[in-house]
């Protein structure tokens, strides 16, 4: 593997080491799922070692690619003196935990991820408890029971605590530069972005993605109103200076703000579309079946079960924001939320 310049027209998922700036590299690592093909790890030279933003998923293929990529930079795993993790999703966090066992690296993660991490790490907790709870609340009672009975897929030992819980806003002092950690809850409750003023860049994790709309509140612990949090976090990013977007999935692009504007417009449209089909006593499950999904405008019935679950929870998050804004009223019976205009 050799170092190449990162360019705006390449397939972002192709294995390699792509120089974004001198001393800053984008390293896409493979994912086993068929939805997202890769996750970007960003490596920066810092003194005689490296700092990595996010780590990849704890699978052998990802570890092998990262090993080769660090080799191209003249380094090895033991030279990574910091892992700065944007959020606790497995494709960002778990490889750092595995590597730390062998190489003693230092891991930092936002304090807001603590409840979700503890839920996911608990061997006595049903593995899809949060998803099942939300589906029930959304009125998908049968689906909630089915999801709640699914066997565990993850290895609970991958969710060990970090060495350091970051409490943003806070400066993260590296050996040769300082990053600012900024709290951006929504995608997950403890999601953090890292700003580097010198590079005029934002390591955005999954908060701002160039091609897809980030999922909201897909995590071990149930958030109170994840879409409200997410929209506030988008506004927060707009209030900061515009910077180069370094996303966890997708290519580097020149403006965080341009993409944030698009994401805000998308959610405004979805809020209107969902508000328009609420009838007396509708649940989120009802409403999810009355709107279309994905950029291709697919029907709910044509989605696979996992994406149906996401769609239902996404709808519930939108209806709760409409309720908070006074556009809908909400009541709850047997743990199921019903909405009316
Ligand atoms: Zn994520």
- The confidence score (pLDDT) of residue 34 equals 67
* 336 CB-near residues (< 8 Å, 6+ apart): 136, 137, 138, 139, 141, 283
Q: Which pLDDT tens digit goes with each residue over 178-211? A: 999 999 999 999 999 999 999 999 999 999 999 9
The overall average pLDDT reported for the chain is 96
- The confidence score (pLDDT) of residue 36 equals 82
Q: In the chain, how many domains are there?
A: 1
Burial 170-190 (b: 16+ CB within 10 A, else e): bebebeebebbbbbbbbbbbb
- Going by their DSSP bridges, the two strands 3-5 and 201-205 should be labelled as unpaired
* Span from the CA of 303 to the centroid of ligand 1 (angstroms): 20
- The confidence score (pLDDT) of residue 149 equals 87
What is the pLDDT averaged over residues 253-272? 98
Q: Which two tokens stand for residue 80?
A: 């990574």
Residue 209 within a domain: yes
Q: Which pLDDT tens digit goes with each residue over 239-250? A: 999 999 999 999
Residue 293 within a domain: no
- The confidence score (pLDDT) of residue 152 equals 83
* Span from the CA of 51 to the centroid of ligand 1 (angstroms): 20
Residue 317 within a domain: no
* Span from the CA of 126 to the centroid of ligand 1 (angstroms): 21
Q: Are the beta carbons of 189 and 112 closer than 8 angstroms?
A: yes
d(C-alpha 11, C-alpha 22), whole Å = 21
Q: Which two tokens stand for residue 218?
A: 């897909």
In this model, does residue 41 exceed pLDDT 80? yes
- Going by their DSSP bridges, the two strands 192-196 and 201-205 should be labelled as antiparallel
Question: Of 82 and 147, which is predicted with more confidence?
Answer: 82
264 pLDDT tier (thresholds 50, 70, 90): very high
- The confidence score (pLDDT) of residue 33 equals 74
- The range of the structural domain enclosing residue 182 comes to 3-125+153-274
- The confidence score (pLDDT) of residue 18 equals 98
Residue 120 within a domain: yes
* Span from the CA of 213 to the centroid of ligand 1 (angstroms): 11
Q: Which pLDDT tens digit goes with each residue over 278-293? A: 999 999 999 999 999 9
- The confidence score (pLDDT) of residue 127 equals 84
Residue 134 within a domain: no
Share of the chain above pLDDT 70, in %: 100
Residue 298 within a domain: no
Q: Which pLDDT tens digit goes with each residue over 137-153? A: 999 999 999 998 888 87
* Span from the CA of 235 to the centroid of ligand 1 (angstroms): 19
Which CATH number goes with the domain that contains 244? 3.60.15.10
């Amino acid at each position: 593997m050799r170092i190449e310049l990162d360019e705006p027209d390449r397939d972002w998922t192709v294995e390699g080491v792509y120089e974004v700036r001198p001393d800053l590299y984008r390293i896409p690592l493979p994912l086993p799922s068929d939805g997202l093909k890769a996750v970007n790890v960003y490596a920066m030279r810092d003194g005689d070692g490296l700092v990595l933003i996010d780590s990849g998923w704890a699978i052998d293929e990802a570890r092998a690619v990262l090993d080769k990529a660090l080799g191209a930079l003249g380094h090895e795993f033991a030279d990574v003196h910091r892992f700065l993790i944007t959020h606790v999703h497995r494709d960002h966090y778990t490889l750092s935990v595995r590597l730390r066992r062998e190489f003693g690296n230092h891991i930092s993660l936002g304090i807001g991820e603590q409840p979700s991490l503890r839920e996911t790490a608990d061997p006595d907790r049903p593995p899809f408890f949060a998803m099942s709870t939300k589906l029930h609340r959304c009125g998908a009672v049968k689906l909630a029971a089915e999801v709640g009975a699914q066997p565990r897929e993850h290895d609970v030992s991958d969710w060990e605590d970090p060495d350091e819980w970051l409490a943003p806003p806070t400066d993260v002092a590296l050996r040769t530069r300082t990053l600012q950690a900024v709290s951006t809850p929504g995608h997950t409750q403890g999601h953090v972005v890292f700003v580097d003023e010198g590079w005029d860049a934002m390591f955005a994790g999954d908060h701002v993605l160039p091609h897809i709309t980030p999922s909201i509140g897909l995590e071990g612990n149930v958030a109170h109103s994840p879409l409200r949090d997410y929209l506030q976090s988008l506004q927060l990013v707009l209030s900061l200076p515009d910077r180069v977007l370094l996303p966890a999935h997708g290519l580097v692009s020149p403006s965080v703000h341009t993409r944030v504007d698009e994401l805000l417009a998308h959610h405004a449209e979805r809020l209107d579309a969902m508000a328009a089909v609420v009838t007396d006593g509708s649940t989120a499950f009802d409403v999810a079946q009355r709107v279309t999904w994905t950029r291709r405008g697919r029907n709910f019935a044509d989605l696979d079960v996992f994406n149906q679950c996401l769609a239902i929870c996404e709808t519930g998050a939108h209806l709760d924001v409409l309720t908070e804004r006074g556009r809908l009223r909400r009541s709850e019976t047997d743990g199921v939320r019903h909405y009316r205009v």
